[in-house]
Amino acid sequence: MKFKAEIDIMPHDALLDPQGKAVQAGLQNLGLSGVDQVRVGKHISISLEADSEAAAKAAVDEACKKLLANLIVERYHFEIAAV
């Protein structure tokens, strides 16, 4: 079966996000007052073949742990859907 995974990777809440701070400052410089606590992360879409939804979830979880996310500073969440 073919599946599509939508993966969101974000910095841990307890860690400083310099990129988020830079975006926040830029938005404020544009006159968007009231912008607070901007966090910048990654969104990754993957299409994959797997025998079952459980197998697809296991494959995506392994990809996140081994390559896509740096678990020391990032957390991830994903959704799987059959295509």
What's the CATH number where 15 sits? Answer: 3.30.1280.10
For the chain, what is the mean pLDDT? Answer: 97
Q: How far apart are CA 21 and CA 33, in angstroms?
A: 14
Q: Which domain holds residue 20?
A: 2-82
Three-class secondary structure of residue 34 per DSSP? coil
Number of domains the chain contains: 1
E strands along the chain, which residues? Answer: 2-11, 42-49, 74-82
- pTM across the whole model: 0.89
Percentage of residues of the chain with pLDDT beyond 90: 96
Q: How far apart are CA 49 and CA 1, in angstroms?
A: 6
pLDDT band for 44, please (50, 70, 90 cuts). very high
